[in-house]
Amino acid sequence: MKVFAETERLILREILPTDIEGMFELDSNPIVHKHLGKKPVKSREASKKIIESIREQYEVRGIGRWAAIEKSSGDFMGWSGLKFNTDKKDELNGKRNFYDIGYRFIPRFWGKGYATESSLITLDFGFKELNLELIVGAAEIENIASNKVLQKIGLNYIEDFDFEGTRASWYELQKEEYKAIQNKLTRQKYYLKNKERLKKLYRERYQKDPDYNKKTLERAKNRYHNDPEYREKTIERAKARYKRKKFGL
């Protein structure tokens, strides 16, 4: 059994023939297939064929969806991971030969953040291990939860398209964009870990270095005018300071 990736709460391994009961529970559920064309499977034989298809993808295409296992219980939750879409039947939004990120879980595992958690490690695997240049995602417009996951993990909305009689949204993430996101997260983690020390260092430099003082004020001014989110947070901080000063909080 090959394990492709692990997170704090999940094991992402190859899908095995012995996963048939879990796969049947997943894909026979009409709720799961509400935004997937409303075509749940009717038999374990159908689930067996899905497993065989995914395992063939491992061999022929070098990648396929992974079984998602909950560490705390050891339960099969569904699947997550990448798929290399090459065939006519895999065509989506008029495109072929693309890697898409996907996830599908049994309903009792919904609402726990597993889709986001497994997708983040999937992106990491795709860009770092497979050295992909582009990963895409798609979800029916009405599938609000799935669209939120794709946005949350950093994919960029590109367009809407027709999909089996409904409308779906298409997302993309370039390797260089992913690197920028990772670098930003690394800086944020470092800052949070060393917050007090850095605050003291910047405060001392701000007080002693007039040139640094001037440049800092100029950067803050430009960011305030060009970044709505930063501007809103700055206003909220100013309001909080005013209340503390006025009411002695």
- Could you read off the pLDDT of 104-148 as tens digits, one per residue? 999 999 999 999 999 999 999 999 999 999 999 999 999 999 999
Whether the predicted pLDDT of 20 surpasses 90: yes
Q: What is the mean pLDDT of residues 24-41?
A: 92
- Res 213: pLDDT: 74
Spacing of C-alpha 71 from chain mean position: 20
C-alpha separations of 199 from 46, 193, 210, 216 in Å: 59, 12, 17, 14
Whether the predicted pLDDT of 25 surpasses 90: yes
> DSSP labels for 52-109?
HHHHHHHHHTS---EEEEETTT--EEEEEEEEEE-SGGG-BTTB-SEEEEEEEE-GGG
Q: 212-224 pLDDT, tens per residue?
A: 777 778 888 888 8
- Res 121: pLDDT: 94
- Res 214: pLDDT: 78
> DSSP labels for 50-67?
HHHHHHHHHHHTS---EE
Residue 61: Cβ within 10 Å count: 16
- Res 235: pLDDT: 87
Sign of CA pseudo-dihedral 179, 181, 184, 188: negative
CATH of domain 3-175: 3.40.630.30
Whether the predicted pLDDT of 60 surpasses 80: yes
End-to-end Cα separation, the chain, in angstroms: 59
Q: Which of 81, 85, 58 is nearest to 69 (CA)?
A: 81
- Res 190: pLDDT: 67
The beta strand positions in the chain, using DSSP E, are: 3-6, 10-13, 66-70, 76-85, 98-105, 134-140, 156-163, 166-174
Instruction: Provide, rounded to the nearest whole percent, the portion of the chain with pLDDT above 90.
Output: 66
Q: What is the residue extent of each domain of the chain?
A: 3-175, 194-247
Indicate the average pLDDT of the chain: 90
- Res 191: pLDDT: 67
* DSSP code, position 131: -
Q: Which residue has the tokens 């001037």?
A: 214
pTM for the full predicted model = 0.74
Spacing of C-alpha 147 from chain mean position: 10
Q: Compute the chain's Rg from CA coordinates.
A: 23
The pLDDT-based confidence of 186 (bands split at 50, 70, 90) is confident
The pLDDT-based confidence of 89 (bands split at 50, 70, 90) is confident
